[in-house]
Every structure is written in C-alpha cells, then in structure tokens.
Structure 1
Amino acid sequence: MKREIVSLQSTEFDTVVIGGGITGACLAHDAALRGLRVALVEKDDFGVSTSAASSKLLHGGIRYLQKLQFGKVRESARERTYFQVIAPHATRCVPFLIPTIGGSLMKGRAALLAGMNLYRLLCAGLNRLIKDPVKRIEFGRLYSRRQVLEKVPLLQAIDGLNGAHTLFEVHMNNSERVTLAFVKTAVEHGAVAANYVRVIDFIQHGEQISGVMCRDQLSGQEFPVRARIVVNAAGPFLPGINKLLKGAHLRKEPTGFSKGVHLVTRQIEQRYALALSSGKKTEGLVTRGGRHIFLIPWRGRSLIGTTNVPFTGNLDEVRVTNRDIRDFLQDINAIIPGVGLRQDDVHYAFAGLYPLISDDIKTDTYQGTGEYQVVDHAGQDQLAGMVSVLGAKYTTARAIAEQAIDIVVAKLNKPELRCRTATEPLGEGRIDDLEAFIVDRQERYRNLLPAETVHHLVVSYGSAVDQVIAFCRETDGYLEPLAGNRETLAGEVAWAVQQEMACTMDDVVFARTGLGTIGHPGEAVLQKVFSIMSGILGWPDERYRQEVNLVEQRYRYLDD
C-alpha cells in the first residue's frame, strides 16, 4: 500500500472520502468492495485521532438499555458480531464483572439480572452468524459475593458489594490496526488512499460539488481530487470542513465537544475487566446511578477509561494534562480504595473528542450519544454531489458506511451494487478457525520464532502473517525483537514503511506496532526504529531529533 499522490490527481473517481478514521475507512472499504472508484484522504495518519482514543471495545449495546433504545442495543450487538466474522484475529472476548450492591434498587442483584436477561433476549440468534465457535460471544451469569471475591479480591473494598454479573464484550488488541485493515482491504479492491493529505477547499460549480482541493502535508503540493460525489467523514473536523461550503449543514450541529481521557497503568486485574459505577452522572431514563469506569486487562497493563471534560480549544491540539491524570486517578482510587494508583503507575495516557448535541452542556454529566448522522446535502441544502457522515461509535462504523454508500450508489444510478461488508472478511481476516490457525503457524515457525511471537504476529497481521515473516526473513536482524519486553520484531518497522504507508516514527511506534501505547519503549528502541526507517526513506542523521520529539510529545502531559 503506497501513497499514490499522482493517482489521486489523475483519476476521475466515483467518490472521494474525507477522513481516514474508522468511519472513513469503512466508507472506502464498502465503496471499493462494490466496485466504485474510490479515493480516501486523511490529514494525519489513518485511525490515530478519535478512532484510536477509545477503550478499544466493540460494545454490544447494553449501555442503550438505560435509555430504552432497544433498536440501538440490537444494532450494536449485531455489528459487534460482524467484527467477529470479518476480523477474527484482531479481537478477543473479555469478561466484565459488574458489581451488585445490597440495599440499592437499581444497583441490586434483581435489577441487574433483569437487565441482563432482557439484553440476552435482544441479542438472540446473533451467535449463529459466527461460524468459528471460538469467536462466539458468551452470555454471563450472576455470582455471589463470596464467588466474586474469590475471583477479584480487590472488590472487597466496594461498600455494600453482594455479588456481580459477568458481561462478555469484544476488545481489540490494536484499534489503529483494525482501522488500517479496512483501508488496506479497500486498496486491495482498487481504492486510492493517502495519509497526510489535507482537504483545503471544495471544487464547486454552482450548486454541484465535483471534488476537493488538497494539500500534501509532506511536500506542500496542492492538487485537485475530482469525484462525482464527495463524502465528508472527518469526525470532529467535519463541521469545520463543511464551513468551506456555504449552506452545508448537519441535521443536528454539534453544540460542543467533550474530551475523554484514558490511562494505561500497571495491571490491576489480569483475568477480568471491571465496570464500576462512578460518581459522575449519566443521561438516561433508567440508570444504575452513575457513569461506569472500565478497567480492562490489556497487553500486560490495565486500560482505564474514560473521563468526561468539556473541550473548547483547538481540535488539532487535544492533549492530556497532568490535572486530567490526577483527577482521574482520584476518581479511580475513590471507587476502589485498595487499588492505590499513583501517577508513576501511569505508563501512557491519551485523549480524544466526541461531539455533543445537548443544548445545555454539563461538566458533571456524561452526554455522549450513540446517534450518528448521514446527510445527503442535495436534498437538504441543494448541494449536489455532497454527503456528510458523522459517526458516533467505532462499533457501528460499518453500518453507518453501508447506509451512506447506499445513498452514493443510488446517486450514481448503480443500485445493483450491494453491500458485502457484513460477511466478507477483511484482507487480513481470512481465517476460518482462529485457534487452529495459530497452532498451525506456531508449529510451522517453531524453529524460527517463539510461540508467543507468532501469536503476536497473528493478532497483528492475521492471515498476512506468512507474508510478514517471509519479508522479515529476507534481511538479517529483522526477525529479532526490538526490545526484550516487547514482541515487536525489527522487520515490522520496515514492513510498516514499505507495505503500510508509515511516514513517521510516530506512525510506526504507535499506530502500526503499538510499541509506544503501553509505555515508552526506551531510547535504544527509538534509535533502532530510526535506523531502520532512515535506511529505507533516506533520512539524514539530523532528522533523528525531529522524529523522536514527535514520539516524546505523546508522553509530555501539559501543565495545568
């Protein structure tokens, strides 16, 4: 997969998608599988903004029960199922423990059991869509206080604890790589994609939109990308891009943004994720008393999220502050007094934005919404050739893309081009039996790599693992790990540059390999990464400090 800037300029596309987060990636993927000529442009790297700043969960929709949105529950559970089918290598089922509290109606055992039974009913039949038994999603059960404390003794600090119910959710090892897998599959089917390409204007003739003007962020070159239909899927940046056009509006314009912060800490609990009620309010008709904080075992760490802080700054400058970290640690320690998390337990912290549509934005209440918007501006604003797609959740991005591309093919008079994305695996997801596939590859490469490393490669690259290992075998040292405490091989750096459009060290360290998302990998590792990349890209030695500064900035949290 290469940055085909010349192809972007010289091709007349059916559609150009603005934004390479999960929504834009799914749009390009769906359109390409239907046979459309597709361009995808992203101003930064693919999937590193809002799409990366999450708990990496593919939610089954149980959160919508509190708003009695049963259709949203079913939709989310269905889309979670599809991910198990099309990207089996990239996900795992994680059991959450949801505590029950004696003397509380909504937090009690009876209320939670009733809610879980209703949820089970709303998810009925979905597991039949998953052929691989290992990928089917279990339903949980209710445990007594004694059973819960045998599993997670830490929970004894919760006042009034009288049991817990398990809920199995689907968790991604690396959400950035899942987004990238959609982009790569789109490219396999003929799409032209490029990161670091910013849209600076629209090409407009009267009320007809016929493309976008772009700037290559790496070279500074400006050029047109012509298409019959433009689809704006730029997430939080969507309204700002639409302002380049007079009269382009969403049905509900965002009234503001909220910043959600996640922490990656020392591992608190190895086997179970914990869903614990905080003192923060949440909107809903039926609630358990507060917004939940999730503590998820992830890659030898705990991934903890999320906060809810109104954000009014520059959308390109969303950063974690030291106060964010201190306040969140205080909340966590108040919920579980025995956990004793300190600031030096935090290996990494990241933040992202989600749009708000509430007229009254409250600092103490979670007001995020699972509602998304697909707007045909020809019908709404008399701007032909323009569609806006504002997503809300990673889980439902595929469904949103299907709705939007249905509109696109109708406008192109190609209604016979049907969506295939719910059942056709991603390019790296062509694995029928995941457990058997892993065992087979561990045996095949047992004289070459440790079993744990092969497992890591399968989780990262899926059915492309053979190509990755063959690529690494061609160069001395590429089969060696970059560090003793990481599974990432030296050759994965070169693969990211030559096969996956990585342009900076930041791209490699965070989005492609995840080296940096569980903590700073160390100066020696960064030097190795730079050495490999500079050998391929021809970087001069003096560029080292520039590249390292971009990586180091991720770990520099702003002062209050």
Structure 2
Amino acid sequence: MYATQERQAKLDRLASTHFDLLVIGGGITGAGVALDAASRGLNVALIERNDFASGTSSKSTKLIHGGLRYLKNLEIGLVREVGQERAVVHKLAPHLVRPEKMLLPLVEGGSLGKLTTSMALWVYDFLADVEGDDKRVMLTKEETREMEPLLRDDILTGGGFYAEYRTDDARLTIENIKTAEQHGALAANYVEATDFEYDEDHQISAVRCRDRFSDRELTINCDHVISSAGPWVDDLRKIDKSMNNKRLFLSKGVHIVVARERLPLAHACYFDVDDGRMLFAIPRLRCTYIGTTDTPYKGDPNAVPVHLEDVEYLLRATNQIFPTVDLKVEDVESSWAGVRPLIFEEGKKAGEMSRKDEIFESDSGLLSIAGGKLTGYRKMAERVVDRLGKQLHDEGEDLEKNTTRAIILTGGPFKDFEEVLTYEKTIAGMLEAVSLAPDRAGYLVANYGKQSPEIIELAAGRSESTDVGRLAAAEAEWCIKNELAVYPLDWVERRSGRLYFDMPSIAPILDDVLNVFADAYGYTEADRERERRRVTEAIDWVSTFSSADNN
C-alpha cells in the first residue's frame, strides 16, 4: 500500500499549495515546459489525465531528427532549429538519444534525384551545424547496395548516408519530468483537469481536477496555466471558451514492428514510396520498425486504431524496396498509432501541413501550445515560458533566462556516447555479480543510464523463481518508486517498451510484475485480474488488425 499512500500525499500537496504555474499535459512538451519553468525559479505543478507520455509522445518515430523532408516544403527555419537541437538533446542524455546513421537509397522515379539529394543533405548539414564524421556522404549504386544488400537492385541508382539520432520518446519524456521534479516541480499522472476557476478580472485562478486513480476531486490554485495537452488542446480551450479561428488538425501516424530476422537491415533506412511519401525502417534491439503513415484522423485520440489497411500499406511499401523479405501481416508482432496535433491550414493535405509549433493566448491568461516535433520540445518549452515571462513582466515580475541546454537529464551525466558504451560493460559486470544475464546491460543503460545500479541492487535482494522475473520485478519496483508507474501497463508499455519491442518477454514475467504492483497498491484478487486483463488487451490491441470498414 506504500505507493497509494505516497500518491495521496502528493495529491494533498497539489491541493494545499499555491503554484506560480500549472502545466496541463504530461507529454514531451509539458515535460519540457515544467523543467524550463522550474529551472527558472517558478513553483510548478504538472498534471496528466493518463500516464505520462501516453499520447503522441510515445507514438512517434522515436527519432531526434532534423526533418529532412521539411526542406521539400521550404521550412528552412524549422529544419535549422530542430537540426541544431539534435546535438543539444544528445548531450543532455547520450544514453537515451543515440547516434543513428541513416541510409537514403535513391531509386528511379523517386522523389529525390542524385543532385537534389546531394544538395538537400548539404543544406541539411549546413543548417544543423553538422561536423566531422557526421557529415553526409553520397554513395554510388554499388556502394549503396554493399551497405544494404536487401535493397531492390533494378531501380537503385545510388544513395546518401547521413547522421540522425534515435531515442525512446516515452523515456525521454519521463526523464524530463523527473529532472523537473529535481528542480522543485510537482508532477502527477492520472489527474484530469475538468474545469477552470476565475478571479474577478476573469483570469484563471485555479483548476478543478479529478484523480482518476482514486476518484478524488481536488482544486489546484495557481497564478498561470500552460496547456500542452497535445490532441486535447482544443478541448481545454473550449472549456475556457477561448476557441477562435485557430484550431487543431489531427493526423494519424502508424508504425509496425517485425522481428529483426524478418527484416535484418544493416542500417536504418529512409526510403521512397510510390505515392510520394517517404518511410523509415529502423533496427532496434530484436526488432525492426517501419513507419509512418500520415492521414486525417477524426476519432478518439485516447484509442487510435491501427487498421489492416495501414499495415498493408506499410508492408507493401517495404516489400517494394526490400523485395526478398516478402513481409506478410502475420509477421507484424506489434504496432502503434498516434495523432499529430497540427495547426489547421485550409486547403492542405495532412502531409503538407507545417510541423511548426504555435502558441495561443486567451483573454483569461491561458497559454496553449500545439504543433511542433519531438526534436524541438526544448525550444518549444522555452518559447512558451518566455511568453509566460511577458505576462509576469506585466505583473511587475521578471523571469530568469532559460538554461535548459545545460541541464543534464536524470540517468546521466555521460561525457559522450563512447562513455555510454564503456558504462554498459560496467553494468554487465554488475549483473554477472548477482547472477543475472549480462546481455541485459545494453537495455538497462539505454533505458535508465546511471540509474541502472539501483535496479540491480533491488534485483539482488529479490527472490522470484527466474532470473528474468527477478530483474523485471526489480525494474517495476524501481519505476513505481521513482517514476510514478501506477499500473502494470505503465511499466510494460512506457517504462520498459516491452509492448512494442520485446513482446515475447512479457508473458514469462507478468505474474512477477503483477505481484510487485499488488504489494505497492494493495490489490485485491479482483484488482490483480483486472490489471492482467488490461495488459493482455493491450497486447491484442497492438497485434491484431481489422479493416477500417468494420469499425
């Protein structure tokens, strides 16, 4: 029951404290805002109606990248900013934001020719201040085929090789929230904003909330509110009665996951599709994932389905460029679908709408930020907190300058990626010392960085019947205590990533993980079976597909 008691104590603090700023939305933007504002000396609270990163921020392509394709739309400023941000975010968490060389095969009839690609990659490097070995290299057909033998030979004309970064978007969000808490912020998941209260000048003075875990209702008093609620930004603007001619357009993006042996790529690839789109295929752990689609979405953002048509589109495109693999629907182990909250632009298709962020300010003082990309989260946060600074200045208070480009995220510090790789060997030795498999070192360091020894120490004191169960139980216990994991699915999906990238590992350790949550939250047998059912339903949701016509 200790976790339930700690959660209630946190809710008591939320209800009894007057905050300078309340952030609504616990995705990557809200996490960045909370850290930015707290590090500038504000007393900050953050609430999220579901789990942290449960929306768009766990459903991206999981790349910290400059957006090469946005050059085609001449979004030079966006490419410059996010391109430069790649290196900044990598330095904040090298264990979590890892270098990933990208192969761009050029094909006959593709959207990019050799000269265009060479110029685009040169501009990309220039805008992003890329240096040294990370600068783009243009390849002949033979060199491209040698780098990736699975590529279709008869249409291949050459290639480009350039640098990006790969991440775990959910973990990046969670580490930002934990770092914000280190700077004094107070964060709570499963707390939903239901209404606003206003003072005599019709400025927001408090937010009414409901804890979805205990059904407790509470009011959080605050001077200012920033909404970073992603696809739900307009819902909050409607509650505030501040909708105007600006509104969101939701675009669905689908990714699928296959076993690495079914698509054994030597490098991550960014390739043409015959409809003019481009897709990524990215090796990760025991899997390769493929995406993404870009189609209008008008359904529930809380449950975005992957339809059979989405899967078939991605498989068909992949088989066209890698014809010998012959992927089928049965090969798809897992999938995810998220919605991009874009700023609506009349007359444009989903793929043509800008990914640039925008801030809306209502007469009540509510600041809402929407749009943007995962890579640009830190600059988005800086912009909206700077806008808050203007409100504070009008009230006679000046805000400190942003310093987040120098704030190392929890899990660090690491000097560079080479130190991360060296540290993995240290963790492998620590695992062996307590009779656990050393091959889990890479996974632990990628997820938790220098927090890994705390998990190993917990595992050493546990008595589950299997080694994998012992380590998984320790991981789950640590995430309950340090990362506000409330339900087993929080850990299975967002803390560990197993739902997407290691689904076969879930069944053997599920009982052990359920036991840990039962101890922490005082489960009855009915609670325990409900949570088991939620995990198995989530597995079905990401691995079975029906036609859109049947929904």
Which among 411, 434, 447 is matched to residue 428 of structure 1? Answer: 411
Structure 2 residue aligned with 1:258: 251
Higher helix fraction (1 or 2)? 2
Structure 1: distance between partners of 2:91 and 2:515: 38
Indicate yes or no: 2:273 matched with 1:278. yes
Structure 2 residue aligned with 1:530: 514
Offset at 1:479? Answer: 9.3
Structure 1 residue aligned with 2:216: 221
Indicate yes or no: 2:496 matched with 1:513. yes
Structure 2: distance between partners of 1:207 and 1:522: 51
Structure 2: distance between partners of 1:479 and 1:138: 43
Moved more, 9-18 or 420-429: 420-429
Offset at 1:446? Answer: 4.5
Structure 2 residue aligned with 1:287: none
Moved more, 492-501 or 15-24: 492-501
Residue type of the partner of 1:232?
S
Indicate yes or no: 2:150 matched with 1:150. no
Structure 2 residue aligned with 1:286: none
Residue type of the partner of 1:309?
T
Cα pair 1:391 1:400 within 8 Å, conserved = no
Structure 2 residue aligned with 1:402: 382
Cα pair 1:93 1:137 within 8 Å, conserved = no
Change (3 A) 1:216 1:441: same
Structure 1 residue aligned with 2:347: 360
Which among 49, 56, 65 is matched to residue 62 of structure 2? Answer: 56
Which among 84, 89, 94 is matched to residue 83 of structure 1? Answer: 89
Offset at 1:33? Answer: 1.2
Cα pair 1:479 1:490 within 8 Å, conserved = no
Change (3 A) 1:247 1:121: closer
Structure 1: distance between partners of 2:458 and 2:321: 48
Structure 2 residue aligned with 1:120: 125
Structure 1: distance between partners of 2:232 and 2:329: 32
Residue type of the partner of 2:268?
A
Q: How does 1:22-421 map to 2 (within 5 A)?
A: 22-102=28-108, 107-124=112-129, 138-157=134-153, 159-172=154-167, 174-205=168-199, 206-249=201-244, 252-254=246-248, 256-267=249-260, 268-280=263-275, 290-356=276-342, 357-360=344-347, 362=349, 366-377=351-362, 382-384=363-365, 386-413=366-393, 414-421=397-404
Residue type of the partner of 1:263?
I
Indicate yes or no: 2:469 matched with 1:476. no
Which among 443, 464, 467 is matched to residue 451 of structure 2? Answer: 464
Residue type of the partner of 2:170?
E
Structure 1: distance between partners of 2:507 and 2:172: 28
Residue type of the partner of 2:86?
R
Change (3 A) 1:442 1:479: farther
Indicate yes or no: 2:480 matched with 1:497. yes
Structure 1: distance between partners of 2:214 and 2:80: 46
Structure 2 residue aligned with 1:543: 527
Offset at 1:106? Answer: 5.5
Structure 2: distance between partners of 1:478 and 1:61: 47
Change (3 A) 1:148 1:335: closer
- SS of residue paired to 2:367: strand
Cα pair 2:312 2:329 within 8 Å, conserved = yes
Offset at 1:359? Answer: 2.0
Q: How many residue pairs are counted as aligned between the two chains?
A: 526
Cα pair 1:101 1:109 within 8 Å, conserved = no
Cα pair 1:358 1:367 within 8 Å, conserved = no
- SS of residue paired to 1:39: strand
Structure 1: distance between partners of 2:272 and 2:353: 17
Structure 1: distance between partners of 2:458 and 2:42: 31
Residue type of the partner of 1:110?
L
Offset at 1:187? Answer: 1.0
Change (3 A) 1:546 1:400: same
Structure 2: distance between partners of 1:236 and 1:21: 11
Structure 2: distance between partners of 1:482 and 1:295: 31
- SS of residue paired to 1:212: strand
Structure 2: distance between partners of 1:361 and 1:541: 52
Residue type of the partner of 2:195?
D
Structure 2 residue aligned with 1:133: none
- The two structures have a TM-score, normalised by structure 2, of 0.90
- SS of residue paired to 1:156: coil
Change (3 A) 1:100 1:334: closer
Structure 2: distance between partners of 1:273 and 1:482: 32
Change (3 A) 1:476 1:523: closer
Structure 2 residue aligned with 1:283: none
Offset at 1:167? Answer: 1.7
Change (3 A) 1:100 1:404: same
Q: Which runs of 5 or more structure 1 residues have no equivalent in the other structure?
A: 128-135, 281-289
Offset at 1:223? Answer: 1.0
Cα pair 1:24 1:233 within 8 Å, conserved = yes
Q: Which runs of 5 or more structure 2 residues have no equivalent in the other structure?
A: none
Residue type of the partner of 2:126?
L
Structure 2: distance between partners of 1:68 and 1:137: 26
- SS of residue paired to 1:193: strand
Residue-by-residue CA offset, 1:5-43 (whole Å, 9 max, x unaligned): 111100000000000000001001111111211010000
Structure 2: distance between partners of 1:270 and 1:558: 25
- SS of residue paired to 1:546: helix
- SS of residue paired to 1:395: helix
